[in-house]
Amino acid sequence: MRGTLRRRAGAGRHRRSGVRAGQDVGRSCILVSIAGKNVMLDCGMHMGYNDDRRFPDFSYITQNGRLTDFLDCVIISHFHLDHCGALPYFSEMVGYDGPIYMTHPTKAICPILLEDYRKITVDKKGETNFFTSQMIKDCMKKVVAVHLHQTVQVDEELEIKAYYAGHVLGAAMFQIKVGCESVVYTGDYNMTPDRHLGAAWIDKCRPDLLITESTYATTIRDSKRCRERDFLKKVHETVERGGKVLIPVFALGRAQELCILLETFWERMNLKAPIYFSTGLTEKANHYYKLFITWTNQKIRKTFVQRNMFEFKHIKAFDRAFADNPGPMVVFATPGMLHAGQSLQIFRKWAGNEKNMVIMPGYCVQGTVGHKILSGQRKLEMEGRQIVSLSQFAHGIQGKVAPDSQHLCSPPLLLQLEVKMQVEYMSFSAHADAKGIMQLIRQAEPRNVLLVHGEAKKMEFLKQKIEQEFHVNCYMPANGETTTIFTNPSIPVDISLGLLKRETAIGLLPDAKKPKLMHGTLIMKDNSFRLVSPEQALKELGLAEHQLRFTCRVHIQDPRKEHETVLRVYNHLKGVLKDYSVQHLPDGSITVESILIQATAHSEDQGTKVLLVSWTYQDEELGSYLTSLLKKGLPQSSS
């Protein structure tokens, strides 16, 4: 049988330090200290900076000694660069040799994105203080790939478990557990299934703390079908009037989602306008979706043998020369926030024509061109020189990108660009909205919630909503801030059958709703607890039994001789304790069950007698009662 041992309140605690991405989207990096273990969650870069601020400040973790000595492990939730972009810098340049955990798709795609990011930063822009290709390879050697729902034992006490997060191929939520204390980190997730990925799912694991993203903390999206219909209508209308449609996307995720949607629509409507995709992307995406088909949704898995949903009939590879072609077209171009690369190049060419349209299908970080035009800005200052094409897979690389080497001779000029094209925001984002976040909390039933990866004002609104609905504490620390959460964990205890039978025999009836007090010996061995009888404990541990007795002195005013005082005490107790065995022994002492009472004269006052009352711990209740009874004195009528 299993019981529960409760620690006093505040006995356990979690420290959560926001190295970055507290009230911020980008540069996700969180340090969790749980039951003496230190785990770093994600290691991302920021899209809005080109200087030292692009990486997290790892001095928050420790300023003394090596990171390997301090951290027990690092967990990466998915391959987007705002969650893994700083990994080679952290492991190879700052210095970390411990294990790094991620899923198999993340392990496969991560190095490609990191190498593309390195090429843009070093080869194109000429930066020197940056990680090399070899550092990326060395970093990936430290990675341990995990399967969904696989419990991974990091060490004897620390274990982790991955859950499906939707969002992008290979994205996972992680449960971190030490003993009976646990934390769940969501990373980025989506509670709504789409055309190629399923919905995020977690069991009712009741963690002490749920750390959840809150990108869309105040948004409740309309029905997916309505959004898709609206998207197709806007694309169709623009193409019909001879306009061009630009859809900035990131390489894996929304890109495939919208391609499947347009491919089906073009087939059904028999449309002839060309649809283009950034060169090389389709081949790479196809390869990884085929390799990790089990991570897609049920429909794609079922039909994959007959038809590969990612081999498109109407969507062709894009060449940058096509941007100047006359007539209608639809172009998917990377990156998704219009902060650099091919999507920004095309935007600059098409922005001046009111026939054209740009559809922003996801979140845009402040400071990017995407964020500016969605905020209503129609006059933009742009660098008047060629902008280098970003790699097809890069997700969220931010800032001014240097020109190709042949253009280095001309200094950049700031030109004003007037935006006449139509700007539409249609959220096909793979992040959970407010409703989805609440749904996940309902599913997991955490004792505390901590919001990260969001904007402060929106997080404050969601925080109040969570506290009102679920009656749990909700935290939203800023970057670099530490939050301490006290826990009151329940510790399971196995109870021996022999002890249970003995306690039942003396009147203990099992009742699940009422707590019962049980007397036994608690043995802690191999991180587990057992409650057994004292006899069994002594036998198991090979120990000899020692009797522990408690003794209390009670002073009584009685001028009579000692044996007369003892007799008065005996008669008094015999009259009061009718249900107990009270005996007067030949040596002049009195016993009540295991309790022994002896009388001696006071050394200084012959009129005062000292009663020594002693008992074993089993009779502690009766011993305390007898002591309080005798302290009241003896009745005058006793003789």
Q: Please indicate, yes or no, if residue 312 is contained in any of the structural domains.
A: yes
**186 plus 231 within the same structural domain:** no
What's the total number of domains in the chain?
Answer: 4
Model confidence band, residue 389 (pLDDT cutoffs 50, 70, 90): very low
* 386 against 36, higher pLDDT: 36
**304 plus 437 within the same structural domain:** no
CA dist 218 and 433 (Å) reads 7
**531 plus 569 within the same structural domain:** no
Q: What is the pTM of this model?
A: 0.68
Q: Please indicate, yes or no, if residue 276 is contained in any of the structural domains.
A: yes
**43 plus 188 within the same structural domain:** yes
Cβ-proximal residues to 615 (8 Å cutoff; 6+ apart), any chain: 549, 550, 594, 595, 596, 622, 623, 626
**228 plus 94 within the same structural domain:** no
Pick the closest to residue 451 from 470, 474, 481 (CA basis). 474
**478 plus 504 within the same structural domain:** no
Q: Please indicate, yes or no, if residue 349 is contained in any of the structural domains.
A: yes
Mean pLDDT rounded to a whole number for the chain: 82
- Where are the extended beta strands (E) located within 354-447? 357-360, 379-383, 414-418, 422-425
CA dist 237 and 233 (Å) reads 6
Query: CATH code at 254?
Result: 3.40.50.10890
**240 plus 370 within the same structural domain:** yes
**569 plus 531 within the same structural domain:** no
- What percent of the chain stands above pLDDT 70? 84
CA dist 236 and 240 (Å) reads 6
What is residue 347's predicted lDDT score, i.e. its pLDDT? 94
Query: Would you give the distance in Å from CA 8 to the centre of its chain?
Result: 25
**436 plus 290 within the same structural domain:** no
Q: Please indicate, yes or no, if residue 443 is contained in any of the structural domains.
A: yes
pLDDT over 80 (residue 124): no
What is residue 167's predicted lDDT score, i.e. its pLDDT? 86
Domain extent at residue 236? 224-383+414-425
**450 plus 563 within the same structural domain:** no
Query: CATH code at 185?
Result: 3.60.15.10
Q: What is the pLDDT of residues 271-303, one digit of tens each?
A: 999 999 876 555 676 678 778 888 887 777 776
**89 plus 118 within the same structural domain:** yes
Q: Please indicate, yes or no, if residue 409 is contained in any of the structural domains.
A: no
To the query of whether residue 127 is one of the catalytic residues in this protein, the response is no
What is residue 313's predicted lDDT score, i.e. its pLDDT? 85
Q: Please indicate, yes or no, if residue 325 is contained in any of the structural domains.
A: yes
What is residue 305's predicted lDDT score, i.e. its pLDDT? 64
- Where are the extended beta strands (E) located within 405-481? 414-418, 422-425, 448-452, 473-475
Domain end point (choices 425, 453, 476): 425
CA dist 165 and 173 (Å) reads 6
In a 3-state reduction of DSSP, which class is residue 144?
strand
What is residue 214's predicted lDDT score, i.e. its pLDDT? 86
Interval 60-75 mean pLDDT: 87
Instruction: Please name the helix (run of DSSP H) or strand (run of DSSP E) that holds residue 492, with its range, or none.
Output: strand 490-495
**144 plus 85 within the same structural domain:** yes
Query: CATH code at 558?
Result: 3.30.310
Q: Please indicate, yes or no, if residue 286 is contained in any of the structural domains.
A: yes
In a 3-state reduction of DSSP, which class is residue 367?
coil
* 361 against 100, higher pLDDT: 100
Whether residue 178 contacts residue 157, with contact meaning beta carbons closer than 8 Å, is answered with yes
Model confidence band, residue 600 (pLDDT cutoffs 50, 70, 90): confident
Q: Please, what is the end-to-end C-alpha distance for the chain in angstroms?
A: 55
pLDDT over 50 (residue 386): no
Whether residue 335 has a cis bond before it, omega within 30° of 0: yes
Q: Please indicate, yes or no, if residue 472 is contained in any of the structural domains.
A: yes
Q: What is the pLDDT of residues 311-333, one digit of tens each?
A: 788 888 888 889 999 999 999 98
Catalytic residue among 92, 213, 424, 503: 213
Top mean-pLDDT range of 136-140, 314-318, 367-371, 495-499: 136-140
